[in-house]
Structure 1
Amino acid sequence: MTEPTTRRAARAAGRPAAGRTPRAGRDLPAAIGVGVGLVLVILASLVFWKPAFVYLVSAAVLVGVWELDQALRSGRVDPPRVPVFASVGLVPLAYYGGADALAVGFAAATALVLLWRSVGAPRDAARDVAAGVYVVAYVPLLAAITSLMLAQPDGVGRIITFILVTVASDTGGYAVGVLRGRTPMSPSLSPKKSWEGFAGSVGTSAVVGAACVVLLLDGAWWAGLVVGAFAAAFATVGDLAESAIKRDLGIKDMGSILPGHGGVMDRLDSLVVTAPVCWALLHVLV
């Protein structure tokens, strides 16, 4: 039997045939280009003016909150918008006020969500309040932990370590998963994730963590291994958690603003979950 003309033409043009998905699962050149660009912007903000990173994170959190708000509303869940968007201020608040200010700010944001929703119709009020508190805690609160790291005397090194171990987790897991992935980790949530890929995530992140802690923070190599391994584990949990939300809402990506990646929340999902882990472990071990 001869091969269909369209498939031969697609192969000759160097693109996948119609009806077939590349094993990579995404536009790899676009994903690499966007990823490298984001890392360069982040590094520039850290090198030239530390507060610039805080405002860059605040902007990303603002977009992430908007994407998550839109996704929840597509599932007929209506978190109170004003207090949810106002909670983005937790990111600079943590940098300038510290952990105590962040705790007070989160408590105030939670109370504001409750008060704001209480003036509306009682129908589905509990669901909407829960959604509002969830958005505040998931994005602004967790992202604000990066401000606590940055405020330390060696904050730039801590932030770079946190970012690189998370990126290494994603990159190592992706590469090993594509090349050697055989055993699905959670087929119902993320069919492309495999246990082999997870091992690649942990191994790559641990090596990068050891290098970063030794070179950037003058710490012990074994502490970097611990930071990297835990970062990979929690990054995977964060990715699967958002996959569960997207599956429940019936959407593929949280947005489309980042070619090859999806939305901002599709990049923040692992970062925001990893941030408190890296903050705590670096505080204790380094």
Structure 2
Amino acid sequence: MAAAPLEPAGTAPQASRAGRNLPAAIAVGVVLLGVFGASLWFRPEPFVALAIITMGAGLWELKQAFARRHLNLPFLPLAVGGAGMAVSAYAGGPEALLVAYVLTLAAVVLWRVLDGPGPQALRDAAASVFAATYVPFLGGFVVLLLGQADGAWRVALFILLAVANDTGGYIAGVLFGRHPLAPTVSPKKSWEGLAGSLVLAVVVGLGGTVLVLDLPLSTHWWLGVVLGVMTAVTATVGDLAESLLKRDLELKDMGSLLPGHGGVLDRVDSLLVTAPFVYLVLSVAASGTTA
């Protein structure tokens, strides 16, 4: 999530100008980066398992948050379906992910209708469809990246693009943030922060084109630029979308599992929206270089 704070100086010493406990946020971020990096190092299965755990935690946070609006998400079929989507994406590719997604939608709707019909069941079923799409289906595209050639490196590039987006946005927002990006949705984000996200994400995209994708920069510089710009834009959209959701639910954070970050969804909201686009760009690039 690209931070772009606009708060004046003089905030509490334990928090950053973005309202975070900065030492805790950095420590947790480093630990998470290390855990996911280690899971990619030897075999892909640990990363798939971590993806399933992350999806389950995100679904649980959504269940608790939606309960504030008297919406009941059937957690068990959502969690089982989410695990099925991750495994299907890794073992069978995009077609298998789509099949698992459709089966999950059918299961959660049927599960809720069997609890009792009526307008409330319709509202719960619609919320469940949203949850299945937002968390495990979009998250499944990260697992699809893992199934590509040099998949571990491609996932690493995806994660580094997200880190660059966050870091560039935070630094530029703190140092130069003056013009609000979406003041009614997320007052601490600025256009300067978005510019910082763009610059650092493009730098990482260019580096990934050479070091990860093993493509010459002279002819494929455009790929690095596309990856960087697309990451900054989609990550910002994902972050703002979750901010709108939290505003409607009257929540500051989706959870408190990750000190300095909030909940799991507060950490992965931008990643979920970005993953399908990175997968699409890298798939098109791979097909173009092998044609």
Q: What are the residue-to-residue correspondences of 1:180-259 with 2, within 5 Å?
A: 180-219=176-215, 220-259=220-259
Any conservation in 2 of the 1:161–1:213 contact (CA below 8 Å)?
Answer: no
Please say which of residues 229-238 and 112-121 is displaced more in the overlay: 112-121
The one-character-per-residue Cα deviations of 1:137-191 (angstroms, maximum 9, x if unpaired) are 0000011111111011211111011111111111111110111011111111111
Task: Identify which range, 81-90 or 40-49, moves more after superposition.
Answer: 81-90
Find the residue that maps to 2:209 and give its secondary structure: helix
Q: Which runs of 5+ in 2 are unaligned?
A: 1-9, 287-291
After TM superposition, list the pairs within 5 Å mapping 1:1-286 onto structure 2. Answer: 16=12, 22-89=16-83, 90-119=85-114, 120-219=116-215, 220-286=220-286
Q: TM-score scaled to structure 1, two decimals?
A: 0.91
User: Which 10-residue stretch deviates more, 168-177 or 85-94?
Assistant: 85-94
**TM-score scaled by structure 2?**
0.89
Q: Which has the larger radius of gyration?
A: 1
Q: Distance in 1 between matches of 2:142 and 2:12?
A: 40
Paired residue type of 2:243: S
In the TM superposition, what whole-angstrom CA distance separates every residue of 1:88-124 from its partner, at most 9, and x where no partner exists?
2211221012111111111111111221122214132
Counterpart of 1:105, as a letter, is A
Do the aligned residues in 2 keep the contact of 1:177 with 1:197 (CA within 8 Å)?
Answer: yes
Q: Within 2, Cα distance between the matches of 1:158 and 1:86?
A: 26
After TM superposition, the runs of 4+ consecutive aligned structure 1 residues lying more than 6 A away are none
| Structure-2 separation of matches of 1:149 and 1:180 | 35
SS at match of 1:192: strand
Aligned-residue identity in percent: 50
Q: How far apart are residue 66 of structure 1 and its match?
A: 0.3
Note the C-alpha offset of 1:21: 6.8
Does the 8 Å contact 2:161/2:228 carry over to 1?
yes
Query: How many angstroms apart in 1 are the aligned matches of 2:52 and 2:209?
Result: 26
**Structure 1 residue 22: Cα displacement:** 4.4
Separation in 1, partners of 2:194, 2:149: 33
CA distances 1:249-275 after superposition (whole Å, capped 9, x unpaired): 001001111110001111110111111
In structure 1, C-alpha distance between the alignment counterparts of 2:40 and 2:75, rounded to whole Å: 31
Q: Is the 8 A contact 1:94 1:144 kept in 2?
A: yes
Q: Distance in 1 between matches of 2:46 and 2:182?
A: 38
Segment drifting more, 218-227 vs 63-72: 218-227
Deviation at 1:222, TM superposition (A): 2.3
Per-residue Cα deviation, 1:183-216 (whole angstroms, up to 9, x for no partner): 1111111110001101111111011111012101
Structure 2 SS opposite 1:193: strand
Task: Please list the CA deviations of residues 1-55 of structure 1 after superposition, one character each: whole Å capped at 9, or x if unmatched.
Answer: xxxxxxxxxx9xxx837xx974231011111111011111111111121111111
Matching residue's letter, 1:270:
S
Choose 20-29 or 202-211, whichever is displaced more.
20-29
Task: For residue 181 of structure 2, give the secondary structure of its aligned residue in structure 1.
Answer: strand
- State how many pairs are aligned: 271
CA RMSD of aligned residues (A): 1.6
2:93 alignment partner, SS class: helix
Find the residue that maps to 1:258 and give its secondary structure.
Answer: coil
Return the letter of the residue paired with 2:88. L
Q: Assess, with a 3 A threshold, how the Cα gap between structure 1 residues 107 and 216 changes in structure 2: closer, same or farther.
A: same
